[in-house]
Amino acid sequence: MRWLRGGYIQQTRGLFKVYNGPVRNSYVVNKTYLQLVWNNYIPYQLKYLSLFGTGILTLIKVHPSILLTLGPPMGLGAYYLKRNLTKLFRQRQIGQIQSSKVDVQMGTLDKPISASEIVKILPYDESQLYNVERGIENEYDSLREQIVDLVEQRIVEYISLNPDSTTREPMRDFISNESQFNINVFSNQVETWTSTLIHPNRQVEPTDNVSDLKLFINLSVPYYSSRNVNTRKRLGVISVFLMKLNETDWKMVLNIAPLGWRSRDFWIRDINGCEYLASRMFATLSSRAR
């Protein structure tokens, strides 16, 4: 039975070879088969049609007095439930990148951000010709290309410095049968992208002072077994958490979730021995941008 189930999962993964839909503004990531099918393969028109049909059926089958009595509170309850769930997802995602207070003899101080958590991203400059050379039209394109590049580099550095990690999932998915790196993530396959302003410390109350806030970006991108679209399989999804520290420095946290029937998480935060990792664009073009 285990072999049959494993074979079925491998075949099912082969159905999800490419993502052609729009980037969703959502904190919900496609970590399981149900989430993947619901978000990527059921058209939103069908979702709205199902909701509309359910409403019509309710009007036909339920007595008007019951609708008048239960309809408004149920509708209001559904609205607040959705809003609170969205807030909960948002707080949970933001909490992955925020620092916490640490106790010292003189009181509490912000836990310092390690250099091994920091990556360097080249700021977007629309006047530079290298944007045309790379097909970059706006700041989003520039960030997306560099972030996905850094995801690949961070995984390579983590495995290089922690070789024993490849004996278990999901890190073994990034090593081929020939013991070579096999990391297949693509900037044109980003599925979700959200951004907001946050306080760098989770224990500090929200403030209206914009100078105290940092830009937070949360995105997700799937990883595949191969670069060949015809033969590859979707193996899982990588969630990226970024907080902007200054013009070039960002704090980065990765969550790697293999595709399955239930959600499983593997975190990459600070990588001892890997400091101030720079995107290839930053390393190549930062001198030209000055």
**Residue pLDDT, tens place only, 113-131:** 899 999 999 999 999 888 9
Burial pattern 207-230, b for ≥16 Cβ within 10 A else e, equals: eeeeeebbebbbbbbbbbbeeeee
pLDDT confidence of residue 261: 94
For residue 203, give every residue at least 6 positions away whose Cβ sits within 8 Å of its Cβ, in sequence order, or none: 100, 101
Total structural domains in the chain?
Answer: 1
Does 153 reside within a domain? yes
Looking at the whole model, is its pTM more than 0.75?
yes
Does 61 reside within a domain? no
Does 106 reside within a domain? yes
Residue 258 gets which letter from DSSP? Answer: E
- Residue 240 in this model has a pLDDT that exceeds 90: yes
Does 196 reside within a domain? yes
Does 203 reside within a domain? yes
pLDDT confidence of residue 286: 79
Give the structural domain span for 179.
101-289
pLDDT per position as a tens digit, 92-116: 889 888 875 544 444 444 567 899 9
Does 274 reside within a domain? yes
Does 139 reside within a domain? yes
Does 216 reside within a domain? yes
- Residue 47 in this model has a pLDDT that exceeds 70: no
